[in-house]
């Protein structure tokens, strides 16, 4: 399906794929069915991308299918906005669930019927203990739990109470339905887990028709079974829930018998992958929204200019294991640079402009020079860039009194202007405060295209834009959202927010082709990094987000100071 990914596809081997292959080979599974089961209580983040790539990837590789299922069993936190954004994000990442879009809420009637089935068979009971009492009765890791005084209430009484719970007769928290398993089990999840609770909340899909909602554990496995999921792949924190998953499948007349497998979740340095935290940052306005380019959400990464191919490549490189670990953010950046180096068109942009006047270039005239779009891709072709007597170069590309290793422009020194001519600085113009405001230069008309007929060399090539033809832009530079690799590890996570995570550069000048609507996707500003146009752009000013710098300056600075 993804042509650009095929180079890595051969090598994909991990324990999940081994299980699936073995099940297919042994005929235990005819056709693999997986699912990606988000709860619509927030936007997806890059951790979810790992799960999406695994579930959809396995289905694709083994000729099966992957369902998108919303685990929408907690109406107090779920919203249509999240349902919509999740679908958009999964599609953007490059996956398609076809007809197979499901909602746990579509199964509410069936789940209710199965809960009644459990009660009727003496395997569930209505409990009147409060949430706190249930907790106290549950015991600890070292002590067994105690039976609830309601555990042996007659079946008919439980059936009656459960029906009345459904009808909305009781307050929230007044009663719950519990599976009757084993209060002495070594696994706390098996100590009569709650499978239904009363919630007088309006649901995004079922409205006000329910007053009771199934818990995750009750809804999840049964939804898997209804959908015919063969391999229910989830993260390690559900390992201890597997006995309950299996118990429910055993004790209910479900149409299929899915099995659960657990893998280690993605942890990424310098950020947090938890919807609860991400919601907090949005609500407390530490970021501009879910799609703030500093957020690890898929919508944030997209707005940042990170291509989905790079995320899929990242998912492949980190692999799938059962060992918890933290992946360095620099690996993600590496994947992004690798992909963009091959695919991104090059453009010239001056972020901190210094005016250059070429005194021997005829006043009032200009010309169009050929510039290569992508040296890594011959098919990308070339474009015209206007050149004239007045240009902007990067302020940091000039030094009046350069130290030894500075090879760029300086008084009396010759450099190359990319795709244009050799240029020599003849004079420096300053304002009253002594600040350099302009350079006077000469160019050599014989060096058009950037080579001298007499073979003389220069040590630097600078990017530039024509002053009159260039267009103004604001550029947003992003750094890590947190100053430490493990935010929150040593106290309040908010104390670790990076105060310099966003730097706004105003008054930048970019080459005119960037106003062209054909310029889309992420591009490379030569010598600077990768950037994409932000939706905050207006007719008067383009706004660019820096996706990633060309090299990892952060890691270098840290290496030096540490
Ligand atoms: P969060 O912890 O961010 O709130 P969640 O697990 O509650 O996430 P769900 O909507 O339940 O979010 O997740 C959908 C699927 O994505 C689940 O199967 C879950 O295991 C998986 N998933 C969530 N976070 C990660 C992660 N960091 N790495 C890999 N898979 C993840
Ligand atoms: Mg969850």
Instruction: Provide CB contacts within 8 A for 456, sequence distance 6+.
Output: none
- Give dist(CA 461, CA 465) in Å, integer: 13
Residue 64's closest CA among 91, 29, 19? 29
Quick one: CATH architecture of 108-214? Answer: Alpha-Beta Complex (3.90)
pLDDT for the residue 551:
79
Residue where the block lists tokens 């244009």: 420
pLDDT for the residue 252:
98
Is 9-105+218-276+304-332 assigned to CATH 3.40.50.620? Answer: yes
Q: Which residues of 384-423 are buried (b: 16+ CB within 10 A; e: fewer)?
A: ebbbbbbbbbbeebbeeeeeeebebbbbebbbbbbbbbbb
Q: Please give the distance, rounded to the nearest whole angstrom, from the Cα atom of residue 39 to the centre of ligand 2.
A: 6
Residue nearest to atom 1 of ligand 1 (CA): 274
Q: How confident is the model over 323-348, as pLDDT tens digits? A: 999 999 999 999 999 999 999 999 99
pTM: 0.94
Q: Please give the distance, rounded to the nearest whole angstrom, from the Cα atom of residue 161 to the centre of ligand 1.
A: 34
Q: Is 50 in the pocket of ligand 1 (CB under 6 A)?
A: yes
- Give dist(CA 80, CA 318) in Å, integer: 32
pLDDT for the residue 543:
97
Q: Is 51 in the pocket of ligand 1 (CB under 6 A)?
A: yes
Q: How large is the C-alpha radius of gyration of the chain?
A: 31
Residue spans of the chain under pLDDT 70: 1-11, 517-520, 552-562
Q: 414 near 422, Cβ under 8 Å?
A: yes
pLDDT for the residue 11:
61
pLDDT for the residue 558:
52
Q: How confident is the model over 94-115, as pLDDT tens digits? A: 999 999 999 999 999 999 999 9
Mutate which of 14, 34, 51, 54 to test ligand 1's pocket (most atoms within 8 Å of Cβ)?
51
Q: How confident is the model over 188-227, as pLDDT tens digits? A: 999 999 999 999 999 999 999 999 999 999 999 999 999 9
pLDDT for the residue 516:
77
Residue nearest to atom 9 of ligand 1 (CA): 38
- Give dist(CA 249, CA 448) in Å, integer: 76
CATH code of the domain occupying 349-463: 2.40.240.10
Catalytic center residues: 39, 265, 275
Could you state, in order of their start, the residue ranges of all structural domains in the chain? 9-105+218-276+304-332, 108-214, 349-463
Three-state DSSP class for residue 471: strand
Q: How far is CA 189 from CA 45, 144, 482, in A?
A: 28, 12, 35
Q: Is 54 in the pocket of ligand 1 (CB under 6 A)?
A: no
Q: Is 280 in the pocket of ligand 1 (CB under 6 A)?
A: no
Q: How confident is the model over 119-149, as pLDDT tens digits? A: 999 999 999 999 999 999 999 999 999 999 9
Residue 260's closest CA among 226, 232, 227? 232
Residue nearest to atom 16 of ligand 1 (CA): 48
- Give dist(CA 369, CA 524) in Å, integer: 19
Q: Which atom of ligand 1 is nearest to the CA of 233?
A: 18
pLDDT for the residue 3:
46
Q: 385 near 348, Cβ under 8 Å?
A: yes
Residue nearest to atom 2 of ligand 1 (CA): 274
pLDDT for the residue 429:
98
Residue nearest to atom 25 of ligand 1 (CA): 47
Write 146-155 long-range contacts (CB < 8 A, 24+): 146/183, 147/183, 148/178, 148/192, 150/125, 150/126, 151/125, 151/127, 151/180, 151/183, 151/192, 152/125, 153/125, 153/126, 155/119, 155/120, 155/122
Q: Please give the distance, rounded to the nearest whole angstrom, from the Cα atom of residue 432 to the centre of ligand 2.
A: 63
Three-state DSSP class for residue 207: strand
Q: Is 48 in the pocket of ligand 1 (CB under 6 A)?
A: yes
Residue 551's closest CA among 333, 285, 371? 333
Q: Is 204 exposed, middle or buried (0-12, 13-18, 19+ CB in 10 A)?
A: middle
């Amino acid at each position: 399906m993804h042509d650009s990914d095929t180079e890595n596809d051969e090598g994909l081997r991990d324990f999940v794929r081994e299980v699936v292959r073995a099940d297919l080979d042994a005929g235990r599974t005819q056709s693999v069915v997986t699912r990606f089961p988000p709860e619509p209580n927030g936007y997806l983040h890059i951790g979810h991308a790992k799960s999406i790539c695994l579930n959809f990837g396995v289905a694709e590789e083994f000729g099966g299918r992957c369902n998108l299922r919303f685990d929408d069993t907690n109406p107090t936190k779920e919203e249509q906005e999240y349902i919509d954004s999740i679908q958009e994000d999964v599609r953007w990442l490059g996956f398609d669930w076809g007809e197979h879009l499901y909602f746990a809420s579509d199964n509410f009637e069936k789940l209710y019927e199965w809960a009644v089935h459990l009660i009727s068979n003496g395997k569930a009971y209505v409990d009147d203990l409060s949430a706190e009492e249930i907790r106290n009765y549950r015991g600890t890791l070292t002590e067994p739990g105690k039976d609830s005084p309601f555990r042996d209430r007659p079946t008919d009484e439980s059936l009656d109470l459960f029906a009345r719970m459904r009808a909305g007769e009781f307050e929230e928290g007044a009663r719950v339905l519990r599976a009757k398993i084993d209060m002495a089990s070594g696994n706390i999840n098996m100590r009569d887990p709650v499978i239904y609770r009363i919630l007088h909340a309006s649901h995004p899909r079922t409205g006000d028709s329910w007053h009771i909602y199934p818990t995750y554990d009750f809804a999840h496995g049964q939804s898997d079974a209804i959908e015919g999921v063969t391999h229910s792949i989830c993260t390690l924190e559900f390992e201890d829930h597997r006995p309950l998953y299996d118990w429910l499948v055993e004790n209910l007349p479900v149409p299929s018998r899915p099995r659960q497998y657990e893998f280690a979740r993605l942890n990424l340095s310098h950020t947090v992958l938890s919807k609860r935290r991400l919601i907090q940052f949005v609500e407390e306005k530490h970021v501009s929204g879910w799609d703030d380019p500093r957020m690890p959400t898929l919508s944030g990464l997209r707005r940042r200019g990170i291509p989905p191919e790079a995320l899929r490549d990242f998912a492949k490189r980190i692999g799938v294991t059962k060992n918890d670990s933290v992946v360095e953010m620099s690996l993600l950046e590496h994947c992004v640079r690798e992909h963009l180096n091959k695919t991104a068109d090059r453009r010239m942009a001056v972020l901190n402009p210094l005016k250059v006047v070429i005194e021997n270039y005829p006043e009032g005239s200009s010309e169009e020079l050929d510039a290569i779009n992508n040296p890594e891709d011959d098919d990308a072709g070339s474009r015209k860039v206007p050149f004239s007597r007045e240009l902007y170069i990067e302020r940091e590309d000039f030094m009046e009194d350069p130290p030894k290793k500075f090879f760029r422009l300086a008084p009396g020194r010759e450099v190359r202007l990319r795709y244009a001519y050799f240029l020599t600085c003849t004079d420096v113009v300053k304002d009253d405060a002594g600040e350099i405001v302009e350079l006077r230069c000469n160019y050599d008309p014989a060096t058009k295209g950037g080579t001298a007929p007499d073979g003389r060399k220069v040590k630097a090539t600078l990017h530039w834009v024509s002053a009159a033809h260039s267009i103004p832009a604001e550029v947003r530079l992003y750094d890590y959202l947190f100053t430490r690799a493990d935010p929150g590890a040593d106290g309040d996570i908010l104390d670790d927010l990076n105060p310099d995570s966003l730097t706004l550069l105003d008054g930048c000048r970019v080459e005119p082709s960037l106003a062209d609507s054909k310029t889309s996707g992420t591009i490379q500003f030569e010598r600077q990094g990768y950037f994409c146009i932000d939706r905050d752009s207006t007719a008067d000013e383009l706004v660019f987000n820096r996706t990633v710098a060309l090299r990892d300056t952060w890691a270098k600075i840290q290496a030096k100071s540490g």
